[in-house]
Amino acid sequence: MDMERAIIHVSGVVQGVFFRSFTMQKASDIGLTGYVVNLTDGRVKAVVEGSKGKIDALLNALK
């Protein structure tokens, strides 16, 4: 399986208390590894690794 890495920045109304937690749980459920952090400018950054299909599934869930 080809592993890819994606760096995702989410902006907008993502400051809800559970958005970072939601993102981490969704990535884990999909089978991705990585981390999610809140940035000082209000965005959320996710760095994930896995197959392109799994990364695409996470991107769709975050929309």
Backbone phi, psi, residue 9, to 5°: -115, 125
Give the pLDDT confidence score for residue 60 in this predicted structure.
96
Query: Residue 11: what pLDDT?
Result: 86
Catalytic residue among 5, 20, 43, 60: 20
**Predicted pLDDT at 14:** 59
pTM of the model as a whole: 0.86
Catalytically annotated residue among 5, 38, 43, 60: 38
Give the model confidence (pLDDT) of 1-54 as tens digits: 689 999 999 987 655 568 888 899 999 999 999 999 988 988 889 999 999 999
pLDDT given for residue 16 in this prediction: 59
> Is 60 among the residues known to form the active site?
no
Question: Domain extents for the chain?
Answer: 4-62
Distance CA 32, CA 55 (A): 7
38 is a catalytic site residue: yes
Q: What is the pLDDT of residue 18?
A: 82
Fold of the CATH domain 4-62: Alpha-Beta Plaits (3.30.70)
